[in-house]
Amino acid sequence: MNTPSCVISEVLRCLHVGLLCVQQYPDDRPTMMSVILMLESHIELAGPREPGFISRSVLPEKDLGSPTKDTSSTNEVTITVLEPR
């Protein structure tokens, strides 16, 4: 099987531009014209700010001295199956 090769610096540049496109505030995001220019040239890119989709939750601290182990987890995933009529 022949896998296509890629240039790591180009991949990292695409990821960097992608992070610039998902910044929390629309005014911080580049225009499409800027995105094209960033991808076609080797200009220095600005550092991305924190993306708007990051959610942070603070987990309660567990009692480290407690001998019991919690081996279960809660997952709030739902599955929707679409069926035609």
Has residue 66 been placed in a domain?
no
pLDDT for the residue numbered 82: 73
DSSP label at residue 5: P
Collapsed DSSP state (helix, strand, coil) of residue 14: helix
38, 45 contact by CB (below 8 A)? yes
What is the DSSP annotation of 30-65? PPHHHHHHHHHS-PPPPPP--BTT----PPPPP-TT
**Could you list the mean pLDDT of each consecutive 10-residue stretch along the chain, which spans 85 residues?**
78 92 88 94 84 60 55 67 73
Has residue 48 been placed in a domain?
yes
Could you tell me the residue range of the domain that residue 3 belongs to?
A: 1-53
Has residue 58 been placed in a domain?
no
pLDDT for the residue numbered 68: 56
Total domains in the chain come to 1
Let me know if 21 is exposed, middle or buried by CB neighbors in 10 A (0-12, 13-18, 19+). Answer: middle
Has residue 4 been placed in a domain?
yes
